[in-house]
Chains A and B, each alone.
Chain A
Amino acid sequence: MQGIGVTGAVSPALLQEEAVAQSAAGVMGPGAVPVTLTLNGKVVKVTVEPRETLLDVLRNNLDVTGVKRVCDRGTCGACSVLVNGKVMYGCSILAIDVQGKQITTIEGFALTNGKPHPVVEAFVNNDAQQCGYCTPGFVVAAKAFLDHNPNPTSDQVKDGLGGNLCRCGTYMGVRKAVLEAARVMKGGSRG
């Protein structure tokens, strides 16, 4: 470790002690440590190891299962979550890394007083799913996309959702759904 000034005479035990002393300065783990998350507007506390991803903590510790574990390598988008309103891959974020940030999953906005979010409704209207496993990730990515691009073209939708994969190939339905949701969210009609 940096700056310890080891000489040949230093015993491994002493070395370890010094390393521990040095790590007092804000270093946590590798064992489980308390982590506080702001999830869908509520403060939740978990005790997890630094290596646990936000995706795994949401699913395994908090029973928030709208986020799906598919590729687990930041490619498919099934684990999409919003962090401070920006869509990100939950599988590629450490839970300990997003303390103090607003984390939103599909559970946080899909239904308001029993009424579905316009993006959710548009996915149903346009048959924008088949097996459905990628769907929550697509809906989260689509909501974030429309929050930042209220008047998208079809090409912009395609680019904006380029980080989500659907192996059933429902892309055409998804794009139609996002365009419909954009119209509805501006107060227009479905068609």
Chain B
Amino acid sequence: MQPFEYASPKTLKEALPLLGSSWADAAVLAGGTDLLSLMKEGVVNPKRVVNIKDIAELKGVAKAGSGVRIGAAVTLDELLSSPLLRAYPALTEAARGVSGAQMRNMGTVGGDLCQRPRCWYFRAGFGLIAKHEGKDLVADGDNRYHAIFGDGPARFVSASSFGPALVALGAKIKVASVSGTREVDAAKFFVAPASADAREAAIQPNEIVTEVVLPGAATKNATYEVRQKDALDWPLATASVALTMKGASVGSAMIVLGHVAPTPYVASDAGSSLAGKTITAASAEAAGKAAVAGAKPLSMNAYKVQLASTAVKRALLAAAGVKA
């Protein structure tokens, strides 16, 4: 790690002026599980590190109108023990998928959203687009864990565990800077970068994610993750779904895939195909197939298409409480 200045402000007001106008000026430190690794690898070398764990405004899970507000510095362990989140299994299942007590005790909600991609070319210093001497490292190289959707140029997958669930639930992400606060739809928070200079989240260097706001839980929702191993790892494919029911049938459905594209991937056709239907093994499987219809796998990751399709089917069945 390169040397850096350190500050541990106690309020958001103290913290915000400590950030800079470029990513090299300052980095926000919460759980540290991603940032410290990135700094050890020299992928990021901030001049200053601002610890936000001791800022009271960023803590706590509380009712907010008909919904729930989750502070950005809430740990996964705290999230899992909150009784207010029982109506949001899409979110809590995603948190449960993050294995290991250490990671759950350290990792935070804001950190999950802001963690950098796990793409090994990115982690080795080749940037988000991973081009080197004119070569497309992902397309020509080992792409077993990369995107199966999109036309590039970025082919990493969004690392966030909560992203797909928050998009499916219609959550909003609040962000603060010295010039004020703003609210971003979860669906717009994640961005597929078009160039090596762009970023994968709609956040500026002088901003801090302060909280996540979940709307009232009017949906049946669930997340299903497919993982290679039980221990600490990122999923191969996930699906988060939220169903607004009209009696026994689906009024509207949000189906969002994770770890298949540089952002959570909204399978809108698959979602609208469920309107008016009841969730059965057959309708869930058909929706799973529809969700991956546009997949364009790379040379080594066609296997993820089936995983994503099955994740959708199982998430739908879990949300509807149907045993297949």
Partner-B contacts on A (CB < 8 A):
1-3, 23, 25-31, 49-51, 53, 72-75, 77, 80, 83, 86-89, 91-94, 96-97, 141, 144-145, 158-165
Shortest distance between the CB of A140 and any CB in chain B (Å):
10
Shortest distance between the CB of B282 and any CB in chain A (Å):
32
Stretch from B46-54, B55-63, B262-270 forming part of the interface with A: B46-54
Shortest distance between the CB of A75 and any CB in chain B (Å):
6
Which residues of chain B have C-beta atoms less than 8 A from A72's C-beta?
40
Which of B17, B53, B106, B178 has the most chain A CB within a 10 Å cutoff? B106
Which residues of chain B have C-beta atoms less than 8 A from A51's C-beta?
1-4, 39
Q: Compute how far the CA of A161 lies from the CA of B231 in the bound complex, rounded to whole angstroms.
A: 8
**Could you tell me if B48 and A92 are in contact, using CB atoms closer than 8 angstroms?**
no
**Could you tell me if A2 and B206 are in contact, using CB atoms closer than 8 angstroms?**
yes
Which of B6, B102, B105 has the most chain A CB within a 10 Å cutoff? B102
- Among candidates A27, A77, A141, A145, residue contacting B48 with C-beta atoms closer than 8 Å: A27
**Could you tell me if B7 and A87 are in contact, using CB atoms closer than 8 angstroms?**
no
Which of A3, A72, A94, A165 has the most chain B CB within a 10 Å cutoff? A94
- Among candidates A94, A158, A163, residue contacting B32 with C-beta atoms closer than 8 Å: A94
Chain B residue, CB-CB nearest to A98: B53
Q: Compute how far the CA of A163 lies from the CA of B37 in the bound complex, rounded to whole angstroms.
A: 16
Shortest distance between the CB of B58 and any CB in chain A (Å):
15
Q: Compute how far the CA of A72 lies from the CA of B32 in the bound complex, rounded to whole angstroms.
A: 12
Shortest distance between the CB of A163 and any CB in chain B (Å):
2
Shortest distance between the CB of B120 and any CB in chain A (Å):
13
**Could you tell me if B102 and A74 are in contact, using CB atoms closer than 8 angstroms?**
yes
Chain B residue, CB-CB nearest to A171: B231
Q: Compute how far the CA of A50 lies from the CA of B232 in the bound complex, rounded to whole angstroms.
A: 27
Asked if B103 is at the interface (CB within 8 A of a chain A CB), the reply is yes
Which residues of chain A have C-beta atoms less than 8 A from B17's C-beta?
2-3
**Could you tell me if A97 and B25 are in contact, using CB atoms closer than 8 angstroms?**
no
Shortest distance between the CB of A191 and any CB in chain B (Å):
27
Q: Compute how far the CA of A73 lies from the CA of B7 in the bound complex, rounded to whole angstroms.
A: 23
- Among candidates B6, B21, B40, B102, residue contacting A87 with C-beta atoms closer than 8 Å: B102
Shortest distance between the CB of B232 and any CB in chain A (Å):
6
**Could you tell me if A2 and B100 are in contact, using CB atoms closer than 8 angstroms?**
no
